[in-house]
Structure 1
Amino acid sequence: MQEKQEKAAKSRGKARSSGSAPIQRGKLKVSKARFQSFADLDLRTVAARRAQEVVNRLQEDLGGASNVSTAERQLVQHAGVLSAFIEDQEVRFISGHKIETNELLAAINVQRRLLVTLGLQRRQRDVTPALQDYLRFKEQEKQNEVEHESEEDDDE
């Protein structure tokens, strides 16, 4: 029984990613998974920049990043990455390259469903200034008027 477990562990160890380091626990080698996130992208590639641009625009359509829930943020990220993939495939197809049409159509369908889930209408963001900012602005406006009137009086 223990021999079977060791063989299974060894075969799993061979499949580990190159970025993970094995951890020794008794006779078994266990790998630590290092997951990467969207934030790990350095945005040097056109695809990464395009995906980030779409993510930013979709978040703005949803009322800004601060108004987007965690679930919406995940859907927006998926839609942004799919957008970059779809655009790449469309350009390749139009340029005469052979593409997997079924993969493109499946991606378009998934993206459409994500966008419908998020809502296709833009949401207005609340741009009403905070009360303190408004009062400060009005006070500054009042001071500017007084200064302007005193300059006019000096000219006469």
Structure 2
Amino acid sequence: MLLQNVDGRSGWARRMRDLMALHLSDLGGGAAVSAAEKSIVRRIATLTVELERMEERFATGGEADADALDLYSRTSGNLRRLLEAIGLTRRAREVTPALSTCIEGRLT
């Protein structure tokens, strides 16, 4: 159950459940995750759904006012901190092989 006394069939609730499942899977599955991590994942899913809703409003409105953009920015920062708390890591993309392949292709 996502939330008590809430119809879990709404688009918001379905998206939140989907996001929670994706993050829990990334962490090794629900059985491998502590209660504290599950709580953080729930907050991550909530913030993500709300940020997506804000992005939709920005896109359909063609712009974002200063207050909405400020809220979006602060919420994004909080989301990043929560993601880091459960192990978000930046993975550098390997560019050397692609560069050497490109150079070799030009030389031949």
Task: Letter of the 1:66 partner, please give it.
Answer: A
Find the aligned partners of 2:74 and 2:24 in 1 and give their Cα distance: 24
* Bigger relative CO (Cα 8 Å, ≥ 6 apart): 2
TM-score (norm 1): 0.50
Find the aligned partners of 2:29 and 2:7 in 1 and give their Cα distance: 22
Aligned Cα root-mean-square deviation (Å): 1.8
Find the aligned partners of 2:17 and 2:7 in 1 and give their Cα distance: 11
Looking at secondary structure, tell me which structure has more helix per residue: 2
Find the aligned partners of 1:106 and 1:86 in 2 and give their Cα distance: 10
> Alignment identity in percent?
31
Find the aligned partners of 1:88 and 1:64 in 2 and give their Cα distance: 27
Find the aligned partners of 2:27 and 2:7 in 1 and give their Cα distance: 25
Q: Contact 2:27/2:33 (CA < 8 Å) preserved in 1?
A: yes
Give the corresponding residue for 2:10: 45
Give the corresponding residue for 1:94: 59
Match of 1:112 among 73, 80, 84: 80
Per-residue displacement from partner, 1:64-123 (whole Å, max 9, x unpaired)? 0001101100000000011100000001101116551111111111111100110126xx
Number of residue-to-residue matches in the alignment: 85
Task: Letter of the 1:67 partner, please give it.
Answer: A
Instruction: Write the mapping of 1:1-150 to structure 2, written as runs, cut at 5 A.
Output: 38-40=2-4, 41-96=6-61, 98=64, 100-120=68-88
TM-score (norm 2): 0.71
Task: Letter of the 2:77 partner, please give it.
Answer: N
In structure 1, stretches of 5+ residues that fail to align are 1-36, 122-156
In structure 2, stretches of 5+ residues that fail to align are 90-108
Q: Which has the larger radius of gyration?
A: 1
